[in-house]
Structure 1
Amino acid sequence: MGFKDDIKNWTIEDIKEFHANYYQPSNAIIIVAGDIDAKTVFEQSEKYFKDIKSKPVLYPSAHQVEPKQDGAKRVELHKESEVQMIAIAYKIPNFAHPDQIALSALSELLSNGKSSILQKHLVDDKKMVNQIYGYNMENKDPSLFLFLAVCNPGVEAESVEKELLQIVEEIKSGKIDEHEVQKIKNTTKADFIFSLESASNLANLFGGYFAKGDIEPLLHYEENINKLTKEDIVEVAKKYFVPEQSTTVILRK
């Protein structure tokens, strides 16, 4: 919703203006899924929505391209916290880029489930963190692959960083279990097929891709999962986990 100070300063006029600008037909997508007759749906949609007219946009959407990062960035924040936290982010492309399939698989390999690499190494074996995630963001614009860890009491964030970067380098060198890759492919396909079984899930799935402007990745999703190889995952790790394109944030007292 925004920052606290901004929200406190809102007026009724501000809220009405925001609603008028964004909540209108030119910004809307209607998704209807299920055992339906397409002709009836279009006729009913026109009947009930044709008289709702779009208004001139008060604030045309602006699109800025972030300049290429020219070196690693580090930030240290000091807040009241019982434990230290660390986040490391790497630049990745938008949701429609072909590399997103391998990036998603890499995310699964790193941090999804008890047997994932980060969970096993840093939570179970080393007992350095109590929570750790590594995931790719699939946004309309270029985004981030984000690692986020909550350290155990007494553990320095830099120690976790060292271990995490070592794991990243091992993946880039090809240290990935073929069996784990196949397991991820099987699970991902099963989850995808299951998501197509209900009308509401189907509507949400297509609606999300339509809202981001391209449904092609969705139409070829299962095919691309089938083609995914261990080498694809290693290549995206080498391509995007580049120190010069990283941003590290540490939070401590």
Structure 2
Amino acid sequence: MKKSLIALSSVLMLGGTAHAQKVAFEEYDLANGMHVVLHNDQSAPVVITSVMYHVGSKDENPERTGFAHFFEHLLFEGTENIKRGEWFKIVTGNGGTNNANTSDDRTYYFEVFPSNNLELGLWMESERLMHPVINQIGVDTQNEVVKEEKRLRVDNQPYGSWIAQVKKNLFKNHPYRWATIGSMEHLDAATLEEFQAFNKKFYAPKNAVLVVAGQLDIAKTKEWIEKYFGPIPAGEKPVKQTFVEEPITQQLNARYEDPNIQKPMVVAAYRTPSMKTRDARVLDMISTLLSDGKSSRLYKKIVDEKKMALQLSSFNYSQEDYSSYMIIGIPQGEFTSADLIKEADEEIVKLQTELISENDLLKLKNKYENNYVNGNSSVEGVAENLATYYMLYGDINLINTEIEIYRSITREEIRDIAKKYLNPNQRLILDYVPAKDKADSNESELAKQNK
């Protein structure tokens, strides 16, 4: 009886917290097709101006990969009215911060200012869209910047290439098969005209969503948005291609030698459905159950109790078209990558054949309630969530309603989704090994087992 009361109290408390955190917003379209979302939060005198463009690495020419990420850098070079090298000086000089990031699916830019500098933020983002200066000196400068980033984060970073190797082997047809940072050879070969054409095609009002969040005067904000974004020509909305992958029906095996590591790593990767599906949310919960925290099933068994791995985790890498469910482990001592996969498989079989306890399900839902609250606890988080739900999910209201999906997931669904997607014949096994480990380089134990 006591446990039931505690559980009921937890649900009521979290439900109340979630309700209190409901995000209010207003949305509308400009005449040029640009979608605008406003979120008024008077709790602090800050404001974020952000623009998400529906262009990521999946929209690139296979012979010109890296363009989407390159533009994340290039469009800070300057505009017709912001001199080269002045962008960051203007932002910091007015008490602000700014950044940008790129994924396979979208590119996102934002500035955070004191609320009395909202007009400045809107003007700067409109300048990026309306008056970018894309010239050879900017291209050459950012080419070197991107090369240095790749050297630091990929080429010379221990385990820096594992995600690229997973994508390369898990996808055969879809553009998810190449890394977001792309190929330096492709960027070197590209002409200035190609960069200008990419900008014209994808950086258009109809391919963007503007989100303004924070301490706003709504009427004045709308006036400024119309002033700075309204005159931008509509352009054409890019036509998105559809790429279909054939189901994996037999285990794929791949091997990569990394000169920057001394210990091998193994990755089991399963191709899973779009993040927009209910199945993807169930897989999120499965990854949490298996490896989120020291009490999770895989960590407790393989790392804590059996001391078989230095590190082990799993997660559902959610994307717009397909997702990837991954289990990653680094064996220790005499244990091998094959040992880790065997142990992980045993836990997955348990999920496929036994219902998790009601208490485990409650703990999972509590974690997702907490994630929901934390994800909307800052204006920066709210702004990015609003943009993402509008652009990639096609339902902006998910910022308030997606938690209901997680709340409704059942123990039976967790069992059935594990059975549907997480089978040995539906996955890639990547054997990620030290390049200098020649003793095992030709025939690793994992490779022998997978033959």
| TM-score category (smaller protein) | 0.7 to 0.9
| Cα distance in 1 for residues equivalent to 2:401 and 2:393 | 15
Match of 1:250 in 2: 431
Q: Which moved more, 1:8-17 or 1:195-204?
A: 8-17
* Other structure's SS at 2:310 match: strand
Following TM superposition, by how much is the alpha carbon of 1:13 offset from its aligned partner in structure 2, in angstroms?
4.1
Cα separation, partners in 2 of 1:10 and 1:155, compared to 1, 3 Å: farther
| Cα distance in 2 for residues equivalent to 1:174 and 1:14 | 55
Cα separation, partners in 2 of 1:95 and 1:236, compared to 1, 3 Å: same
Following TM superposition, by how much is the alpha carbon of 1:6 offset from its aligned partner in structure 2, in angstroms?
2.5
Higher relative contact order (CA 8 A, sep 6+): 1
**C-alpha distance after superposition, 1:128-184 (max 9, x if no partner):** 221222111221102211111122254321111111111111111126343232112
Name segments (4+ residues, structure 1) moved above 6 Å: none
Give the number of equivalent residue pairs: 252
What letter corresponds to residue 20 of structure 1 in structure 2?
K
Long gaps (5+) in structure 1? none
Match of 1:77 in 2: 256
Match of 1:228 in 2: 409
Cα separation, partners in 2 of 1:138 and 1:201, compared to 1, 3 Å: same
What letter corresponds to residue 68 of structure 1 in structure 2?
P
Question: In the alignment, is residue 157 of structure 1 matched against residue 337 of structure 2?
Answer: yes
Match of 2:392 in 1: 212
What letter corresponds to residue 227 of structure 1 in structure 2?
S
| Cα distance in 2 for residues equivalent to 1:136 and 1:46 | 40
TM-score by length of 2: 0.51
| Cα distance in 2 for residues equivalent to 1:223 and 1:56 | 36
Match of 1:144 in 2: 324
8 Å CA contact 1:71, 1:244 repeated in 2: yes
Following TM superposition, by how much is the alpha carbon of 1:46 offset from its aligned partner in structure 2, in angstroms?
1.9
What letter corresponds to residue 30 of structure 1 in structure 2?
L
8 Å CA contact 1:111, 1:118 repeated in 2: yes
The one of 273, 281, 284 aligned to 1:93: 273
Larger radius of gyration: 2
* Other structure's SS at 1:136 match: strand
Match of 1:196 in 2: 376
| Cα distance in 1 for residues equivalent to 2:312 and 2:197 | 41
Following TM superposition, by how much is the alpha carbon of 1:197 offset from its aligned partner in structure 2, in angstroms?
3.4
8 Å CA contact 1:84, 1:155 repeated in 2: no
Cα separation, partners in 2 of 1:154 and 1:6, compared to 1, 3 Å: farther
- What pairs up with 1:30-45 in 2 under 5 angstroms? 30-36=210-216, 38-45=218-225
What letter corresponds to residue 158 of structure 1 in structure 2?
A
8 Å CA contact 2:355, 2:412 repeated in 1: no
User: What root-mean-square deviation, in Å, do the aligned CA atoms of Structure 1 and Structure 2 show?
Assistant: 2.4
Instruction: State percent identity of aligned pairs.
Output: 26
Cα separation, partners in 2 of 1:156 and 1:4, compared to 1, 3 Å: farther
* Other structure's SS at 1:75 match: strand
Following TM superposition, by how much is the alpha carbon of 1:35 offset from its aligned partner in structure 2, in angstroms?
4.8
Q: Which moved more, 1:30-39 or 1:67-76?
A: 30-39
8 Å CA contact 2:206, 2:236 repeated in 1: no
8 Å CA contact 1:82, 1:153 repeated in 2: no
* Other structure's SS at 2:210 match: coil
8 Å CA contact 2:264, 2:331 repeated in 1: yes
Q: Which moved more, 1:72-81 or 1:111-120?
A: 72-81
TM-score by length of 1: 0.88
Cα separation, partners in 2 of 1:42 and 1:240, compared to 1, 3 Å: same
What letter corresponds to residue 62 of structure 1 in structure 2?
Q
